[in-house]
Amino acid sequence: MDLKELKSSWTDAFSQPIMIAGPCSAESEAQMLETARRIRETQANVPIFRAGIWKPRTKPNGFEGVGVIGLNWLKKVKEEYGFKTATEVANAHHVFAALEADVDILWIGARSTVNPFTVQEIAMALRGTDKPVLVKNPVNPDLALWIGALERLLGQDIKNLGVIHRGFSTYQKTKYRNNPNWQIALDFKSQFPDIPMLIDPSHICGNRTGLADITQEAMNVGYQGAIIETHCSPDEAWSDASQQITPEVLAGLIGNLKMRNPGVEGFEGDMGRHRTLISDIDFQLIELLSQRMKISEKIGKLKKENDIAIFQPDRWKVITEYANQKAIETGMSQEFIEKLFKAIHEESIEVQNSIMINR
Ligand code: PEP
Ligand code: MN
């Protein structure tokens, strides 16, 4: 079966947004039960409780998870508070232990998705399971690797699939712990609209302040739910303390979420008109860009005949200045206009380069 034909039905059992909450790591029975109890007491709609039992850590000698004993605590959470349970599996041993303990939902972490051997091992250990298996995006921005992991699972007859967008690691320091790179997740979504996608704002933000905005953005573009790290005493957490929130803060976040309709039923007319206008402007933009490139070719020929370097810093400075000025005048983001003009300029240089070397 092709991944494109897959219709996962596991989401039918939940109302949307499907919320998964619980601590980054299971630390003790008391911590797990208190977190579960307090999530329940808020009455927020959280059907699934998460906890990491085995923790992938960047460096050795950190807290690497409590191991199989934590599976008993997940069971208690299920029995006492009626949650479905979820945990990360990173090898075949984890899979066998988690299946044995009847964990309801399993996920493959970002550090495992990058490794085809690991994904294959997990997929084979899970062969034929009905339990939902969620695949986090790989740490590096590689859509094919993400899709490949799902194909490996489907290859083992695992059909209840979903994905988790947890952001991508970068060397540059940004305001995010993991850059969301929305385009990659949206490309996934447009190729596989029937595979449910959840947001993991905790690992994208790495702090507490950005969680609500990232979650709302995900709902705005039609994600089906979120997985949010929630701890009874976040500051004392043994892993990812800075990004975990209390059950009460979680409930506030969920209460403020606005859900969006997946389709445009009811306002097709207005939507249609706006979309026609947008398409029309897009065609004009492309037409203008093509004219700009043709002029750029002429300049390239002049530069070649006169042996002038392609990149002229003074001219580039003039362009960035007027583009910036125009961005201010029109109320557009200066950062966006700068990015756009860099891309156009790069393409111009490419065009002139092919003229110079007579490609
Ligand atoms: C986690 O969810 O606790 C986790 C380890 O996340 P990731 O695989 O996204 O780093
Ligand atoms: Mn974590």
Q: Model confidence over 279-311: pLDDT tens digits?
A: 889 988 999 999 999 999 999 999 999 999 988
Whether 247 and 316 map to the same domain: the answer is: no
Q: Can you tell me which residue has the tokens 């979680």?
A: 250
Number of structural domains found in the chain: 2
Whether 135 and 76 map to the same domain: the answer is: yes
pLDDT-based confidence at 359, cuts 50/70/90? low
In a domain, 68, yes or no: yes
Q: What is the mean pLDDT of the chain?
A: 95
Whole-number percent of the chain with pLDDT over 70: 100
Quote the pTM value. Answer: 0.82
Q: Is the pLDDT of residue 333 over 90?
A: yes
Token reading at 349: 């240089």
Whether 226 and 300 map to the same domain: the answer is: no
Per-residue model confidence as pLDDT tens digits over 312-323: 899 999 999 999
Q: Is the pLDDT of residue 70 over 60?
A: yes
Measured in Å, residue 202 CA sits from the centre of ligand 2 at 7
Atom of ligand 1 nearest to the CA of 202: 2
Measured in Å, residue 114 CA sits from the centre of ligand 1 at 13
**What's the domain range around 345?**
267-356
Whether 233 and 285 map to the same domain: the answer is: no
Whether 134 and 79 map to the same domain: the answer is: yes
Domain holding 34: CATH number?
3.20.20.70
| Ligand closest in space to the Cα of 139 | 1
* Vertex 225: Cα angle to 25 and 213 (nearest 5): 85
pLDDT at position 97, please? 98
| Ligand closest in space to the Cα of 241 | 2
Q: Which of 31-40, 159-168, 279-288, 343-352 has the lowest mean pLDDT?
A: 279-288
Whole-number percent of the chain with pLDDT over 90: 84
How far apart are alpha carbons 204 and 223 in whole angstroms?
15
Among 227, 256, 285, the domain boundary falls at 256
Nearest to 300 by CA among 357, 234, 235, 225: 357
Atom of ligand 1 nearest to the CA of 239: 3
For ligand 1, pick from 20, 50, 54, 111 the residue to mutate: most ligand atoms within 8 Å of CB: 111
pLDDT at position 346, please? 93
Determine which residue's CA is closest to atom 3 belonging to ligand 1.
24
Among 256, 291, 325, the domain boundary falls at 256
How far apart are alpha carbons 113 and 135 in whole angstroms?
7
In a domain, 262, yes or no: no
Among 199, 234, 256, the domain boundary falls at 256
Pick 359 or 84 by higher pLDDT: 84
Measured in Å, residue 239 CA sits from the centre of ligand 2 at 6
Specify whether the backbone of 350 is left (phi greater than 0), alpha (psi in -120 to 50) or beta.
alpha
Whether 113 and 183 map to the same domain: the answer is: yes
Whether 149 and 242 map to the same domain: the answer is: yes
Ligand 1 contacts CB of residue 237 (under 6 A):
no
How many C-beta atoms surround the C-beta of residue 178 within 10 A?
21
pLDDT at position 174, please? 87
Give the mean pLDDT of 175-183.
93
Task: List, in sequence order, every residue forming a beta bridge with 225; answer none if it has no partner.
Answer: 18, 198
Contact predicate 253/247, CB 8 Å:
no
pLDDT at position 103, please? 98
Whether 210 and 317 map to the same domain: the answer is: no
Q: Is the pLDDT of residue 71 over 80?
A: yes
In a domain, 261, yes or no: no
Whether 139 and 217 map to the same domain: the answer is: yes
Ligand 1 contacts CB of residue 52 (under 6 A):
yes
Whether 340 and 191 map to the same domain: the answer is: no
Give the mean pLDDT of 187-202.
95
Whether 295 and 249 map to the same domain: the answer is: no
Contact predicate 286/43, CB 8 Å:
no
Whether 59 and 169 map to the same domain: the answer is: yes
CB under 8 Å, gap of 24 or more: what pairs does 328-331 form? Answer: none
Give the mean pLDDT of 202-226.
96
Per-residue model confidence as pLDDT tens digits over 3-12: 999 998 999 9
Domain holding 294: CATH number?
1.20.59.10
